[in-house]
Structure 1
């Protein structure tokens, strides 16, 4: 039975949730490494190793959280309750992660490991059910494109706000003490995110119900291992996240040590995020005329060329840096709603093929891949910095500067090229999904 069309209120309400998540994610991906090295006081190698280890550990908790969410039964549904009860502990852990205790080097490292591990685990306990929610709000392909476009427009907007506002909040709230500034800044973002998650909870509802309840967790995992579209989307999310994290994390070092204009970061990253939001908003229109698979391949190829071009930008060509950054935002903006819409398609494919639907476990692919991709990217950055002799808060050697430039250009370009090649093998095109949706509707009727 076809449900009534989604209202604009629900589309916007769902999308706002990702703004709340970016109050954490953008702070982590853009500022956490430089916070650890330049404020918290641990070495780049120790910080990169810690981020890598925690991300790897957390990546393997995601399937467990997805399985638990699939089996949650409440009067609010499977996934919405997590938006109601988990944001408060998430806010507390965000503050603790950006707190600098008066401890020795070993004590600080232990503090960083524990707080960051708990932060990312609890973050996933909200984010993964939120992502899975997009697969059960509606079964209509166009509506899925719309809610995911809304999600990432709001997400990019949230990221833009964070990159523009966080450095100013640190300075203002800290009064010259960056350690205190970061702690109070995360209090602000934690409260703001908590309020937004409440809006998302109250404006959405779960409509798509499985034909039968999930089987065992082992069966869910076996279904995913044999689900070729899911495997390709997992690898796609992993590769794209490596590319994006390399550029986002390296940007702070690039403007501080190569361009010698660290204040430009407050507009450079928001310029990308604003352009990405515009690209995201265009996704439903583009997907109406171009098959999602072909669209993704084209976007990844364009991103490859634009990212590689950054290698040839001189440190004085500020306008060209911004032009390429904005073009990259437009090209990469649609990839997130497309990827999440495809994950919902993979969940439908799984149910169509074997009669079992595990939406939370399916969407765990994205969270798993994001964390694994971030871990790989941070590991690459840490290894390059260590090999080239990076010294915090000091003039960098020519080799160190060259390494930072490569992290902003050629290395991420290689990963987007890999993503384009990968999508050649994706099979759930528009005609196939129309047939699957028709079969599923007939079964449920």
Structure 2
């Protein structure tokens, strides 16, 4: 059976998806909590934290990622090009994740140096792990329909990891640290490191590379880069990736401040009590105490509980949205479904500007609707990037999967760097004081703008960019058919 017809087993799809679960335990923590960790836990000034996040992100995007793409495409082992990198980086990834969220007392300048050094090393090993992992999705099968299915499995795992981080991480930090956030982050990251290492190994053991370049294909860095420059769908996807991840980092990093400083704490308590959340937590804590686990108690402050519930609702509806992604894409094409769903999800974000501090129910409703429509797009982004690799092979008769994905991961890291730096930078620009229990009105206004207007701009630009993306449903079918015939002939 050729690679275009190859149907992936559920075992292989689940095994592959566990790798993204492992990576996202760390990735989602970086996106959502790194700025908060630096400013409120490690006590680095907000402007300095913004600089660290931005500089390391640029280093990852424009140095580590392109170099790793060239290296991965030229890797030759009995396990393939990409699978061995997942194995080789499994343990270092876990150890460096723990180091990046540790808080040694090194003085003001020493803290900054430690944060910079540990984040640089974590970014390096993240690239060496995640770029080959992402490229692996393009060589497990040549079937675009199977890639849609694989992406759906993968992003269910991503959403589960995101659920754990956004819903359970702060309670876990408080529980495992006994109220000490610094110690709690260290213990939590140690747990994630062990789980992640095991799951990376499972991914390595359960997957197989099937789409390989022709044996006679010559490898040339110059030719690889020239192919990219002529590939308009790649250019569109690169810009789109940057914009999507600016949004994710900006809104993800700012929500915790939105709950802590904008929403009315009294209304949060009333809302939680009204839906029975507090009674449920009280029952859970009583059950844990009855089992002798008195130390494992859900934190009692309303913003933490409401933020966890808010995140949970969004992620659950993202997972539901993912379930609609494949059938919609098969019927209407990835491009059109992606653009339509992204536009509707953006309108839900813009609605945050109109909500007063006491409108807790409306905040929750808007976010779960945003989660549903954004969930439809999440598997499609990476499936479209794999399609761009096929497009490049179709146009140029040369396959360079990793360089395609490395360019996209450059965009991902650039987007995360800009978005993450914007979180700390906006806070600094509006005068945020990490030691203040109540922030100045202009700070609260900056937080409100960030989760509504500012984070909507990248998505709206992304929707506009898709009008330049030429791989529609009909071209997808043509590319898959013609590449399948070529591979059969070559075999």
TM-score category, normalised to shorter length: over 0.9
**Deviation at 1:3?**
4.3
Preserved contact between residue 303 and residue 413 of structure 1 (Cα < 8 Å): no
- Pick aligned residue for 2:127 from 101, 108, 124: 124
**Deviation at 1:353?**
1.3
For these two proteins, the number of residue pairs brought into alignment is 445
Preserved contact between residue 169 and residue 185 of structure 1 (Cα < 8 Å): yes
Q: Residues 322-363 of structure 1: CA distance to partner in whole angstroms, max 9, x if unpaired?
A: 111111111111222111111111111111111111101111
Bigger mean CA deviation after superposition, 229-238 or 347-356: 347-356
CA distance in 1, matches of 2:316, 2:229: 37
The reply on whether 1:348 has 2:351 as its aligned counterpart is no
User: Equivalent residues in 2 for 1:158-237 (5 A)?
Assistant: 158-211=161-214, 212-213=216-217, 215-237=219-241
Instruction: Please give the TM-score of this superposition, normalised by the length of structure 1.
Output: 0.97
Q: Residues 131-172 of structure 1: CA distance to partner in whole angstroms, max 9, x if unpaired?
A: 111100011111000001111111011110122222222222
Preserved contact between residue 100 and residue 119 of structure 2 (Cα < 8 Å): yes
The reply on whether 1:397 has 2:440 as its aligned counterpart is yes
Instruction: Please give the TM-score of this superposition, normalised by the length of structure 2.
Output: 0.88
Structure 2 residues without counterparts, runs of 5 or longer: 266-301
The reply on whether 1:360 has 2:362 as its aligned counterpart is no
- Pick aligned residue for 1:34 from 29, 33, 36: 36
Aligned to 1:246: 250
Q: Residues 224-269 of structure 1: CA distance to partner in whole angstroms, max 9, x if unpaired?
A: 1111000100111110111121111000111111124421222222
CA distance in 2, matches of 1:114, 1:170: 23
Q: Alpha carbon RMSD of aligned pairs, Å?
A: 1.3
* 2:137 counterpart SS class: helix
Preserved contact between residue 19 and residue 199 of structure 2 (Cα < 8 Å): yes
CA distance in 1, matches of 2:383, 2:362: 33
Preserved contact between residue 248 and residue 269 of structure 1 (Cα < 8 Å): no
**Deviation at 1:375?**
1.2
CA distance in 2, matches of 1:75, 1:3: 23
Structure with max Cα Rg: 2
The reply on whether 1:323 has 2:365 as its aligned counterpart is yes
CA distance in 1, matches of 2:68, 2:218: 14
Structure 1 residues without counterparts, runs of 5 or longer: none
Q: Residues 44-100 of structure 1: CA distance to partner in whole angstroms, max 9, x if unpaired?
A: 111011101110111012111111111111111111111212010111111111111
Aligned to 1:421: 464
Preserved contact between residue 31 and residue 420 of structure 2 (Cα < 8 Å): no
* 1:334 counterpart SS class: helix
**Deviation at 1:106?**
0.5
Aligned to 2:318: 276
- Pick aligned residue for 2:473 from 402, 408, 430: 430
* 2:138 counterpart SS class: helix
Aligned to 1:8: 10
